[in-house]
Amino acid sequence: MKQLISDFLHLIYPNVCLVCHGNLLAKEQFVCFSCLSRLSYTSYHLQKENPIEKRFWGKFPVEHATSLFFFQKETPSQLLLHHLKYKGDKEIGEVLGRMLGETIKAAPDFEVDLIIPVPLHPKKLQKRGYNQSEWIAKGIASALQKPMDTEHLIRVIENPTQTKKGVYERWENASGIFALTHPHSLEGKHLLLVDDVITTGATIEACANTLLEAADVKISVASLATA
């Protein structure tokens, strides 16, 4: 019943916060400043050898890795990600992506050339109607004034959802599902790989190892949330 009321309010009164349903002020978009202040931010962009970077050690060479906030159940972080991924509120991805991009701008030596969102398989993209990681990447690209690319990294296998899988199952589920087109176009570039949530990192690892087929590339990673 609560979800039905929430969906109804958002339909009738679009200028209300997705989390608390309070009226938004003039400069607020989709979520109020009060709810944003309740997110648990990581500050990983200022920490070398942070837990996100360490998650990829020994899996692929990672230059930088960061997440904007921690994913916590029954908090604004869960509600925002649910709206972004399952409720069609793709624009919140761009808003939060700009926030993530601003933190990256504030980080020392975090300079990238191209921003690449984790791709969806065409069937899932058609079903959902949008790629939430692409909307996050749009926001980052806007903040950093760098181009976004959705042409080179593609998903060739529609793997089952990762949600209820363990660490090894996630890695096995993500192995071999991506491909790289025209790798010469990426040669020598510093690529920022973008996802919505990093848990085990299996999907990011699969993407990164595919991108490494291009010569002399560097890879950094950014996500809205980390579990």
Span of 67-71, 115-119, 124-128, 138-142 with lowest mean pLDDT? 124-128
Do residues 71 and 78 touch, judged by C-beta distance below 8 A?
Answer: yes
What are the tens digits of pLDDT across the range 147-172? 999 999 999 988 766 555 555 555 55
Instruction: Say whether pLDDT at 85 is over 90.
Output: yes
Domain with CATH 3.40.50.2020 in the chain: 39-226
The pTM assigned to this predicted structure is 0.87
> How would you write the chain as a 3-class SS string?
CHHHHHHHHHHHCCCECCCCCCECCCCCECECHHHHHCCCECCHHHCCCCHHHHHCCCCCCCCCEEEEEECCCCCHHHHHHHHHHHCCCCHHHHHHHHHHHHHHHCCCCCCCCEEEECCCCHHHHHHHCCCHHHHHHHHHHHHHCCCECCCCEEECCCCCCCCCCCHHHHHHHHCCCEEECCHHHHCCCEEEEEEEEECCCHHHHHHHHHHCCCCCCEEEEEEEEEC
| pLDDT given for residue 19 in this prediction | 92
| pLDDT given for residue 11 in this prediction | 55
Count CB atoms within 10 A of the CB of residue 213.
11
Instruction: Say whether pLDDT at 80 is over 90.
Output: yes
| pLDDT given for residue 165 in this prediction | 56
| pLDDT given for residue 86 in this prediction | 92
Q: Domain 39-226, what fold? A: Rossmann fold (3.40.50)
What are the tens digits of pLDDT across the range 20-77? 999 999 889 999 999 999 999 999 999 999 999 999 999 999 999 999 999 999 999 9
| pLDDT given for residue 5 in this prediction | 57
Average pLDDT, the chain: 90
